């Protein structure tokens, strides 16, 4: 069975944020800083996915509009 890379990333990013939140809540003050990069990377993965999706949709819409103008 082939596993899709996007499916894995969509599951890993919220898990990273969750682990970061748990680590920030339950760890000692000296070790809380180690959980910040995990949370930030989870947030960056989610934001990057959303931004790339918007850009792809915008590019597809531009191609459709340009094709419609050529046909008319």
- The model's pLDDT over 9-40, given as tens digits with 9 standing for 90+, comes to 778 889 999 999 999 998 888 888 888 999 99
Q: How far apart are CA 9 and CA 48, in angstroms?
A: 11
Query: pLDDT-based confidence at 60, cuts 50/70/90?
Result: very high
1 pLDDT tier (thresholds 50, 70, 90): low
Residue with tokens 């050529």: 70
Backbone angles phi, psi at 2, to 5 degrees: -90, 130
pTM over 0.75: no
Give the pLDDT band (50/70/90) at residue 72.
low
54, two tokens: 């918007």
Domain-by-domain residue ranges, the chain?
Answer: 5-71
Rg (CA), the chain: 19
* Helix ranges restricted to H, 27-35: none
């Amino acid at each position: 069975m082939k596993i899709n890379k996007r499916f894995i990333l969509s599951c890993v990013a919220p898990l990273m944020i969750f682990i970061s939140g748990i680590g920030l809540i339950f760890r000692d003050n000296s070790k809380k800083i180690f959980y910040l990069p995990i949370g930030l990377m989870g947030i960056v993965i989610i934001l990057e996915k959303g931004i790339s999706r918007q850009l792809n949709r915008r590019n597809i819409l531009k191609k459709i509009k340009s094709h419609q103008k050529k046909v008319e």
